[in-house]
Amino acid sequence: MSFREVFPILSVDDVDRAVDFYTSVFGFEKTFSFEQDGATAYAYLELEPLGIGLARRSEDAPEFALWIYADDVDAAAEALRAAGAEEVAAPADQEWGERLCTFRTADGHLVHVGSAPAKA
């Protein structure tokens, strides 16, 4: 199992407003967004060689979470369980095309492990 492309996800009140801020001030480029209930729920912004995620704030979401891609989400989930991390969401296919699991570390931080869909 290998990991790649780690980035922070920041919780924001208005994803579109935050996208405008980060793109206009810092020069980030929006490369992905996902809508839910008629509004942008998530956006990924790149500023080579790194990026950040912006997610719509909710009561149960922390201010900060970590996303990391894995070549095998199920094996990563097993390793996290074995290491004593608390499973918040078991591996599952998401409506935007990625497989995802979520764990809470011993320090209380959320870690999302995902696998991107195969590129055509």
76-119 pLDDT, tens digit each:
999 999 999 999 999 999 988 899 999 998 878 899 999 976 55
pLDDT confidence of residue 112: 92
Alpha carbons 66 and 95: distance in angstroms, whole number? 20
Strand partners, 40: 35
What's the whole-model pTM score?
A: 0.76
Three-state secondary-structure class, residue 69 = strand
Domain ranges of the chain: 3-115
Q: In CATH terms, is domain 3-115 a member of 4.10.93.10?
A: no
21-70 pLDDT, tens digit each:
999 989 999 999 999 999 999 999 999 989 999 999 988 777 888 999 99
